[in-house]
Chain A
Amino acid sequence: MKQWLIGSLIFVAILAFAINGCKPQNMATAVTGDAASKVYVAPGKYDEFYNFVSGGFSGQMAVYGLPSGRLLKVLPVFSVNPESGYGYSEESKPMLNTSHGFVPWDDLHHPELSQTNGEVDGRWIFGNANNTPRIARLDLKSFKTAEIIEIPNSSGNHSSPFITENTEYVIAGTRFSYPMDNKESNPDVSIDTYKDNFRGTVSFVGVEKETGHMDIAFQILLPGVNFDLSHSGKGPSSGWFFFSCYNTEQAYTLLEVNASQKDKDFIMAVNWKKAEEYVKQGKGKKQKVRYAVNRFDEHTHTATSTIKEEVLVLDPKELADMVYFIPCPKSPHGCDVDPTGQYIIGSGKLAATIPVFSFAKLQTAIQAKDFDGDFDGIPVVKYESALYGEVKKPGLGPLHTEFDGKGNAYTSFFVSSEIVKWNIEKLEVLDRVPTYYSIGHLCVPGGDSQKPFGKYVIAYNKITKDRYLPTGPELTQSAQLYDITGDKMQLLLDFPTIGEPHYAQACPADLIAKNSLKIFKIEENTHPRAAKGEGQAKVERNGNDVHVYMTSIRSHFAPDNIEGVKLGDNVYFHVTNLEQDWDVPHGFAVKGANNAELLIMPGETQTLKWTPDRVGVFPFYCTDFCSALHQEMQGYLRVSPAGSKVELKYSMGKTEKPE
């Protein structure tokens, strides 16, 4: 008996070793100490940080609390959202207008918080649309998308929306070079004329200081390569912007082979103060293009879309001292500037080294014209002349770097699935932790500003595999939270994310929470079809359009009986939520609606267009559980045949007998 027991224990031990031995990155072994208490936010308590995470192909942005990893909200940005009617309601449809018409989806990769004096200020957050190039600005008082601007002369708006230290500009570089826009279309040329006809651009979108309104200040015309990520200079490097570029081979087919031929591509350094001077001197050229500027008005609760037809373009071949290239190893992806603004860190995604460039050395090299020729007319600074040093053998596939404000950098390694902490001045690796799995971006709260809050680093991973209960072939993606307050990074938490998380930003909660809007004041509602009080509820016919001015309050709609609508009519439900209490939206849904429901915030007016497709009586109701009598919050709309003599009438609270 005893022998049997010992034997089986040994067997179990071997088995356990065999299983765990293959997977040293197992959660059970990776978490140590009091991780749970460090992420536990008790009921009724608030998280310390907001974490804004891109939703990737969902087109939305998600807001998580840190350190709990709790999902607080999904913010609709570039994709229609039936949950709230965003992109379906008449008021919000213009937000998704572009020069290509209504584009109801996109691929959002990078959130960027607004800054003042190089520090996160909690006013706005920007996000990019990769596919149909756009930049959105979200208002962090209302957590709504306030503005979306389309970027002309761009295809694959990946290199955005990074900002300058006072949010003077939000920038957008084109991923795909292509034949530049010309009014409605770009020229019909053979693709194998890439080197002759294809060009790239970076756009500087001006952000108005008070309102946040965006418009394109200027674009810089560049050689045909692929532009990737970028970051603003700061401190000594103020007035400069840095972009990573790949495919300097100028390949246009089988890029995975053809774009990795050269040992070095480029970091592009743009002196945007110089570009501003050229703009003031009238050196730019106006070009005919088409792009949409869409703005949401918080008082009319309505968006407008304006198509603009001109953009100012600067050409560095003609305008010297504005753009320089610095060689950077092996298809650089990330391009990050440390909090002191002295160092620019490139990350060659196929490299096994991290090059760190010195802004001071770059300036000296430019002064001395220490160039290694030019690339399509743009000077190429000698690698060694701009280089501060390399971090040797840090791992495989460095992608992105953020900073803790204590002289340390944290770089994500996609290929080797890890975060590596290293000292910037000494170029020494200090620590490394595994991530689960294939990390892309990482985020330290305020980690790309002059004042990082170096408490956590969060990994955003491309692959989830075995982290959670399986949900078929598709798994939600994941993020991991690490404590970075000690010498060694400590894994604390693993949380699922929506869509595909790319970049994220985080900031202390009190920067934002104190300003958060609770209601829209009904007195300030200037929607032209608002019913500000039940006395203003009514139904009007205008040809084939029937406008219902409807109010909602716990627990009824007014009117709730509508007759005289006929087949062939378009019915517009303009619903005003009369509530003036925090967190009391009302929903509105009508049977057979081909678009969505509405979710109307307190004091807001939203419009649902509904076209009846058959004769009959159609109920409508509130979709957001609002009170004990929520189920009673409903009404009926009668649809009669076309040409019928039923009079248009409406009521609420009438119980007379039918005639």
Chain B
Amino acid sequence: MKKIAIFLSLVIFLAACGGGQMTPPNQPTTIKKTSSSPEDDMLAQGKGIGEVKSVELGTPLDQARVGRGKSIYDMKCSACHKLTAERVVGPGWLGLTKTRKPEWIMNMITNVEVMLEKDPEAQKLLELCLTRMPNQNVSIGDARDVLEFMRQVDGEK
């Protein structure tokens, strides 16, 4: 009886293994170095990643933009960003336009998921704050308004 049990389990074991074959190891392949992509160029220039490739800043400030930017800040940003340099949930905004490229700021606002995934500066901020910046559904135009408001916060005229 014991023999039958062993025999049966052997049959089941063999059946379970049936069809399994070792696959040959992959041939080593050579990886060709590709020339840097436009995305890499953007990153290298500190512009972040996103639809915003270049921004022209004007002086004096566009006061209509500043006003719209402030109301967007009040509604969608002020919960996490102070207008001083103090970090709360997110970094304080004071001085940001001096240290970051305008393209980087606008891409961070409008393309936050990709930025957190690929941009080293954005990743450093995530490590610091440990709260992923929410996508607040801010359009490119609205982000430009917010940028103008940030410039005012930094004392631009």
Residues of A at the B interface (CB closer than 8 Å) are 1, 5, 519, 521-523, 532-536, 551, 553-556, 558, 578-581, 584, 627-629, 653
Contacts and interface: CB of A to CB of B under 8 A. Distances in A.
A628 B130 contact: yes
B76 A578 contact: yes
Given A523-B75, A536-B74, 7 more contacts: A522-B75, A534-B74, A534-B78, A553-B80, A554-B80, A558-B79, A580-B135
B79 A578 contact: yes
Given A555-B89, A556-B89, A627 B75 contact: no
B88 A627 contact: no
Interface in B111-140: 130-132, 134-138
Contact of B131 (A1, A521, A534, A629): A629
Contacts of B131: 554-555, 627-629
24 contacts: A5-B4, A521-B137, A522-B76, A533-B74, A533-B75, A533-B76, A533-B79, A534-B79, A535-B74, A536-B74, A551-B79, A553-B80, A554-B80, A554-B89, A554-B132, A554-B134, A580-B136, A581-B134, A581-B137, A584-B134, A628-B130, A628-B131, A629-B130, A629-B131
Contacts of A558: 79
B79 A532 contact: no
Contacts of B138: 580
A655 to B, nearest CB: 12
Contact of A627 (B4, B74, B78, B132): B132
Nearest to B75: A533
A535 B88 CA distance: 15
A553 B134 contact: yes
- In the complex, the 6 A-B pairs of residues with the closest C-beta atoms, listed nearest first: A580-B137, A533-B75, A533-B74, A534-B79, A553-B79, A580-B136
Contacts of A532: 74-75
Contact of B134 (A535, A556, A579): A579
Contacts of B89: 553-556
A584 B135 CA distance: 10
Nearest to B74: A533
B43 to A, nearest CB: 24
A556 B79 CA distance: 8
Given A534-B78, A629-B130, A579 B4 contact: no
Contacts of A554: 80, 89, 131-132, 134
Nearest to A551: B79
Contacts of A581: 134-137
Nearest to B82: A653
Contacts of B75: 522-523, 532-533, 578
A532 B1 CA distance: 78
Contacts of A533: 74-76, 78-79
Interface string B1-15: 100100000000000
